[in-house]
A and B are shown apart, each in its own frame.
Chain A
Amino acid sequence: MRIAVCIKQVPDVEERLEIADDGKWLDENEMKFVINESDQYALEEGLALAEKTGGEVVVLSLGPDRVQDALRKALALGASRAVHLADDAFDGGDAHATARALAAAIGREEFDLVLTGAQSDDAGYGSTGSMVAGMLGWPHAWLVMGFEVEDGGGSAKVTREMESGMNELFRVALPAVIEVQAGLNHPRYASLKGIMQAKRKPIDRPAPADLGLTGEDVGAAGSRLEILDVAFPESGAGAQLIEGDPAVAARTLIEKLRTEARVL
C-alpha cells in the first residue's frame, strides 16, 4: 500500500510555556519541539502497514525550517521520503488553510490511505484530517483506536472511540483519511542504520504554486480563524495555594482537609 502520513511538529507541552511579547502565541525561541503525540502513533501504524503489505510511507508536514528535524526523524523510523510545506506562505494557517495545502500535496500522487493523529497538542482543532478527506472526496474516521485493511486494500474495518468507554465499529471504503487516537500501538525507536539512511532520503519542498494554489489559499491569508491572543487560564478563584517546605506543606494540607474541608 502507498500510505501518506501527515505529522505536525508541536511545542513540548511538558516544558514551561512562555507567551511571546505580542501575546498572540508562545515564544518559540525558548521551546523544545516534538512530533505531535497522536501523529507518532499514526506514523507507527503506517510503517507497520507498509511493511506488512510491501508498500511505502510518504510523510508530510507543514511548518517552518525547524520541522525538518521531525521529518528526518520520521525518515529514520522508516518513511521512504518526505514532503515539507515550508514556504512562508503556508505559515499561520488554521485547519481550513492547512488542510487545503495538505490535500493539494496529497492529491499530486496516488495514495491508498492517509493517516494522521486525531488532534494536535498545540492548536488542538481536531479538524484538519477530516477537512483533507472532504477536499479529496474521501471518507474519513476521527478518533480511531484501531483498524484492519480488508478486501485487498479496498476497505478498512475501523474501531472508533465513543464517550463513556464504548467503541463504535464500522467499515469505510479506501482510500480514506484515518485519524488515530494516541495509545493504539507502541511506536518504534529509530535504529542507527535508520538514522544514517535518513540523511540520504529526499525531502521535497513544494511552494503553493507547485500545488496549484496561491498564497491567498493557504497560511494566515487562507484562514477563517484568527487568534487575537493567548493567556494562561484565570487562576483558580477558590484555590488556596500551599507552597514551601514539603513536610510543612503536607501537614498544612492534611490539617485543612480534616478541619476546613472536612473530607477526611
Chain B
Amino acid sequence: MSKKIWIVLQQREGKLHRMSREAIAAGQQLASALGGTASAVLLSSDGAVAGDVLAYQLDEVLTASDAALADYTPGGYVGALGPAIGAEAPDYVLFPHTYQSVDYVPRLAQETGAALVPEAVSFEVSGEEVIWKRPVLTGKLQARVRVKGGGTVLATIQSGAFPADSAAAGSTQARSLTVGELVVDREILGVEQAGEDEVDLTKADIIVGVGRGVGGPEKLGPVEELARLIGGDIGASRPVIDNGWLPRDRQIGSSGQTVAPKLYLAVGISGAIQHQVGMKGSSCVVAINKDKTAPIFNIAKYGVIGDLHEIVPAINEVLAESQD
C-alpha cells in the first residue's frame, strides 16, 4: 500500500518558515524510502499558498483556511488538523521542529490518538518500519526509537537535519480541506522583542562562545582576554545566560542569535542541539572541552581536549607573543 505523507508547513504573514523547506525535504525522502506520496499542508485565514510551495515536487498542497487561523493558537490548529487527519488518515505527518510546532503537536497527538516522535534528526526504513533517531540527554546521546501500534505517526523534524536545498522541485496543485468549527483557546495580545538586542553578533567574523563549562562569572577573565587578543566578540550558550553570567543579548542558539562567523571558538560548550542550530553555519568551529564525547566535537573542525582553564591561558600566551 502506498504510504501517504503530509508535511505541515509553518508560515507567517505569507512567508514560509525556513525550517518548513527542510521538512519538505524530509517528507519527500520519507515518501521515496517508503514508496508513497508527500503532500504539503498549509493553515491560513484565506487559503493563500505561500510563496513557491506549488513549485515543489509534491502530490498536493492541502489548504485549511478559516478566519480563526489568522493568528496561531493551539486550539485553532489542533481543531483544523485533527479532523483532517481523522478523515484522510495520512500514515505520517511531519512538522518543522519549531517552537510553534512543539507547542501544539503534542496536543494534536493526544487528541487524535496518533503517536508522536519529537525532534527527529534522521530515519531509516527497513521494510515497512521506520526507525527514527532523536537526541536525548540534551544532545549528548542519540536514541533510535520505533513506534508501537498502528495509525498515524506525527514527527517534528529538527533544524539542520535535512538540507532545504535538497527538496526536489516540481509542480503541484492546491486542494482545500474541510474545516469545521474552531475553538480558539488563546486571546492573542501581541508580539514583543524579548530583550534589548544591543549586541549584533550576526556580522562578527570571529566569535568566542562561552559555555557552562567555564564554571562561573568570576572565571570569564581569560576567555574575555582571548576574545580581545583574537579580535572576536563574546557569545554564549543558554545556560550561561540563564545563570546570569552574561547578558541575554550574547545568547547564540535557537532562542538567541543565529551566527555564521569565519571562526567560532566554543569554550566549555557541550553543543546541545539548541546551541548548534545557532552556530553550525560557522566556517571553522574550534571546540575546547574536557569531555571528548561532547557533541560539539561532531561539528568542530578542530577539537582541543582538556581543561579550558589551562588551555585558554596557553592560547592567550601564544596570541600575545605575536602581538609583541
**Residues 133-164 (chain A) with a chain B CB within 8 angstroms:** 133-135, 139-143, 145, 157, 159-164
The residues of B that contact A166 with a CB separation of less than 8 Å are 191-194
B residues 80-125 touching A (CB-CB < 8 Å): 98-100, 102-107, 109-111, 115-119
Interface on chain B toward A: helix, strand, loop, or mixed SS? mixed
Distance (whole angstroms) from the CB of B80 to the closest CB of chain A: 16
Across the interface, which residues of A come within 8 angstroms of B258, CB to CB? 164
- Count of B residues near A, CB < 8 Å? 90
Give chain B nearest CB distance to A98 CB in angstroms. Answer: 12
- For residue B131, which residues in chain A have a CB less than 8 angstroms away from its CB? 228
A30 CB to nearest chain B CB (Å): 14
Q: Counting CB contacts under 8 A, is A188 at the interface?
A: no
User: DSSP majority for the A interface?
Assistant: mixed
- Shortest beta-carbon distance from B160 to chain A in Å: 13
Within 8 A of A (CB), among B186-200: 186-195, 197
- Whether a CB of chain A sits under 8 angstroms from the CB of B203 is no
Contact B142 A231 (CB under 8 A): yes
CB–CB A157/B189 < 8 A: yes
Residue of B nearest to A161 (CB): B255
B297 near A236 (CB under 8 angstroms)? yes
Q: Are A247 and B314 in contact (CB under 8 A)?
A: yes
With A122-B137, A231-B142 in contact, do A249 and B314 touch (Cβ < 8 Å)?
A: yes
B172 within 8 A of A: no
A240 touches B318 (CB 8 A): no
Q: Which of A128, A131, A162, A229 has the most CB of B within 10 A?
A: A162
* A143 vs B74: C-alpha distance when bound (angstroms): 13
Does any Cβ of B come within 8 Å of A201's Cβ? no
B45 within 8 Å of A (CB atoms) = no
Interface locus among A53-61, A64-72, A256-264: A256-264
Q: Report the minimal beta-carbon distance from B123 to chain A, rounded to whole angstroms.
A: 13
Q: How many Å lie between the Cα of A119 and that of B127 in the bound state? A: 33
> Are the C-beta atoms of B106 and A17 separated by less than 8 Å?
no
A89 on interface, CB distance cutoff 8 Å: no
A182-B317 in contact (CB<8A): no
Considering the chains assembled together, what is the distance between the CA atoms of A256 and B263 in angstroms?
12
Q: Judging by beta carbons under 8 Å apart, are B291 and A16 in contact?
A: yes
Pair B117/A242 contact, Cβ less than 8 Å: no
Contact B242 A145 (CB under 8 A): no
Which residues A50-89 have CB closer than 8 A to chain B?
Answer: none
Chain A, residues 230-247, CB within 8 Å of chain B (1/0): the string is: 111111101111111011
Q: Is the CB of A236 within 8 A of B284?
A: no
A-B pairs with lowest CB-CB distance, top 6: A183-B242, A127-B106, A250-B314, A134-B110, A224-B115, A130-B106
9 contacting pairs across A/B (C-beta < 8 A): A95-B116, A127-B102, A127-B105, A166-B192, A224-B115, A230-B143, A231-B142, A234-B298, A241-B303
Seed contacts A125-B116, A134-B107; 8 additional CB < 8 Å A-B pairs:
A95-B106, A128-B106, A169-B189, A228-B131, A235-B298, A246-B313, A254-B315, A264-B263
